[in-house]
A and B are shown apart, each in its own frame.
Chain A
């Protein structure tokens, strides 16, 4: 790839980052998503832990679940919204007529989603420390590995939502808000996945986020069920992403054949 082409690809990707940034800046609802709900989640779960008189490590266990849920939800919404913004404003044809690829679209939105997720995380670090004496910065390298894992999971959920939107249209809109909850339920948000019934437990192990949660909780004295949860989490993430990018490419091509793009623009 020549430097001109590379620069052009970077601009195309930044285009989506720029759009999501402007919409977030101007939209009170998206600001709310970043600031309000994560803090509400942390406080309510933290108070429940205090009421149950949990020791420090157990409190950290469930608060890590609450923090992960918020950061994941905030980050994935940007990726899921990349198509939804166009569908809601009926401008999908103007995006699809440009020479962008699905990679420009997903990565551009993801960069901003990761940034929003990071902002939400930092707020939760400060709130967690101040309100519940929770130390989320216990291991900086481990934290980096964990956060990147959450952001990759956000990309997975967002890409899955985009594929579903192109295949099923507005009927799949709800997946933008529900997939995270389903993932978190399986991944052991406030409990170890060993509690899940057989079948669901195997499904949980197939999801990368389960391993990232086990990885970070191991710093608080909870042993993971595998030897190298971070490596397994990353391997599964890349596998999921390859499969989902192929699905999204297929869904885009299908949308061209079926006229979905023009339908969503009328």
Chain B
């Protein structure tokens, strides 16, 4: 059984005078006990999709099953078993770290002070235990938001851009924590992110979403293969190179005097490309690297 199954899901936001299609024809199966990434540009529909799965929204059409329960008719059963954390760290301002966690655990029907204390320890929030939410640093707020997502021992956690706006070292520690918790607890995590490095580091599988539609799905390797992009050859040249059409080149990016060629195999294509480019000027530098998720993302977002 999958953690989440979406079948022809549509989400249309309607108001009195307008209608906006946020998601269309979404079909998706999220496996259990994995970290699953939902990637896409701003406004692609990532947060809408995650909110639908978390039962905060109700789809206009289609069917969503979370942990075997229907999100429309059995949403309360789902809510017992899931939780969510967002990159916009907002909780009740005047409640302390302890009080916020205690309050939310009560809302899950759990009255366990010891478990709250353990959670505070687990997320290294001991020194801020009695500090009100609005007096915490952004990093500590984010830690608390993440700790809150574990008050009910969920089977499935949705993380909506969990490291947004954090300093790189804090973000890195939080990512390590997410990976550790997923492995330690054997749960499913569905996360949206803007940071490709985050997706690369954390996600076992990824879906790309653009303009409300899923454009690709698979493991990182599968996605790269899907686009037949394996290597990126970057050439810096003195001179102007016109548009080139070369065999085995799937895309070309220009950045000033720098040209990037996405190819199936650098080994097989490098000599041919370099020879062609050299006709238009002196080559200053050549570099080759394996295509990363960001390159795949850029290609899919076009």
Contact = CB atoms under 8 A, between A and B. Distances in A.
A and B are partners in one complex rather than unrelated chains: yes
Nearest to A85: B92
A258 B14 contact: yes
Contacts of A19: 92, 95, 103
Interface string A224-266: 0000000000000000000000000000010011110110011
Contacts of A18: 102-103, 106
Tier of interface size on chain B: 35 or more
Interface stretch (B33-41, B52-60, B162-170, B199-207): B52-60
Interface in B4-18: 13-15
Q: Which of A12, A27, A95, A97 has the most CB of B within 10 A?
A: A97
Interface string B167-198: 00000000000000000000000000000000
B90 interface: yes
Contact of A89 (B54, B92, B102, B111): B92
Contacts of A93: 51, 56, 84, 86
A16 B155 CA distance: 25
Tier of interface size on chain A: 35 or more
Interface stretch (A3-11, A39-47, A116-124): A3-11
Contacts of A104: 107
A99 B108 contact: yes
A265 B107 CA distance: 18
Contacts of A220: none
Interface string A1-37: 0000001110110111011001100110000000000
Interface string B83-101: 1101010111111000100
Given A18-B102, A85-B92, 8 more contacts: A12-B107, A22-B95, A26-B132, A91-B91, A93-B51, A98-B107, A253-B58, A262-B47
Interface of B: 13-15, 47-48, 51, 54-58, 60, 76-77, 79-80, 82-84, 86, 88, 90-95, 99, 102-104, 106-111, 132, 148, 152
